[in-house]
Amino acid sequence: MPNNEKMGLSKFVKEISEVLTYFLRNLPCSTAITNGVKVRASSVFIPEAADLRGHSKKYLFAYSIHMSLMPEGCIIGGMNFSSCQLHWRHWLICASDVGGEAVIGMFTLLCPMEKEFVYKSCASLPTSSGFVKGSFTFVPSSGVN
């Protein structure tokens, strides 16, 4: 997708952020807990942003990712760490492969009992349905409990 199109999508998502926050917060979500890190994900189709003209149709989906650290902290190899920091993410969105350091330029530090980290984004797909799968890599803090 050309950069100016991405900027347009980003601006559109920011403009409807409150509506998206409501829907993404109240939709069913997928939840996984691995090594003490809890990740919840939800998505919603945005029909107002669909472009169905011509051969290259585009369907816009917004998604929200919530990350938090369980009270027992990050557990790796039987050792408990008091915090962990987001280092890398990798997504496969329908036919797109997205990866890179952190998310939205943030290397989030998760600590037990602190507010969850939330980020929202969007993806344009060539079909009205699709799938997302992926992973996050967290680095434990140096403090061992």
Tens-place pLDDT, residues 88-133: 988 887 766 677 788 877 888 898 888 888 887 778 888 777 778 8
For the chain, the helix, strand and coil percentages under 3-state DSSP, each to the nearest 5:
15, 55, 30
Instruction: Write out the two tokens for 82.
Output: 């008091």
Residue 106 in any domain: the answer is no
Write the CA distances from 117 to 5, 8, 94, 125, integer angstroms: 27, 25, 25, 26
d(CA 5, CA 116): 30
Q: Would you say residue 89 lies in a domain?
A: no
Angle CA(137)–CA(83)–CA(67) in degrees, nearest 5? 55
Residue numbers of the domain that contains 62:
3-80+111-130
Q: Does any domain span residue 20?
A: yes
81: pLDDT confidence band, cut at 50, 70 and 90? very high
